[in-house]
Chain A
Amino acid sequence: MIPLGVTVRLRRTGRRGFAVWIPLFLLWLLLLPVALVLFPVVYLACLFVRVNAVQLYMTAWRILASLRHTLIEVEDAEHAVRIHIA
Chain B
Amino acid sequence: MNEDRRKVLDMLAAGKITAEEAERLLTALEKEPTATLAQESAPKPKAKYIRVTVDQADPDGKAPKKVNIRVPIQLLRSGVRLAGVIPVQARQHVEDAMRANGMAFDLSQIKPENLEEIVNELQDLSIDVVEEHSKVRIFAE
Mark A residues whose CB is within 8 Å of B: 49-52, 55-56, 59, 62-63, 65-77
- Contacting pair A69 B70 (CB below 8 A): yes
A-B contacts counted at CB < 8 A amount to 69
Contact partner, B74, options A50, A51, A66, A75, Cβ 8 Å: A66
> B34: shortest Cβ distance to chain A, in Å?
37
B114 touches A (CB below 8 Å): no
27 inter-chain pairs at a CB distance below 8 angstroms, sorted by A residue, are A49-B87, A49-B88, A49-B90, A51-B86, A52-B85, A59-B78, A59-B82, A62-B78, A63-B75, A63-B78, A65-B74, A66-B75, A66-B77, A66-B78, A67-B72, A69-B70, A69-B72, A70-B75, A73-B66, A73-B67, A74-B66, A74-B67, A75-B65, A75-B67, A76-B63, A76-B65, A77-B65
Closest to A74 in B: B67
**A76–B134 CA distance with the chains assembled, in angstroms:** 13
Residues in B with CB closer than 8 Å to A49 are: 87-90
**A13–B105 CA distance with the chains assembled, in angstroms:** 46
Closest to A55 in B: B85
B81 touches A (CB below 8 Å): yes
Shortest Cβ-Cβ A-B pairs, 7 listed: A49-B87, A66-B74, A62-B78, A71-B70, A73-B68, A77-B62, A77-B63
- Contacting pair A63 B79 (CB below 8 A): yes
**A59–B79 CA distance with the chains assembled, in angstroms:** 8
Closest to B56 in A: A76
Among the interface residues B66, B75, B82, which one has the most CB atoms of the partner chain A within 10 A? B75
* A63-B75, A67-B75, A70-B75 known; A55 vs B84 contact (CB < 8 Å): yes
* A50-B87, A77-B58 known; A69 vs B66 contact (CB < 8 Å): no
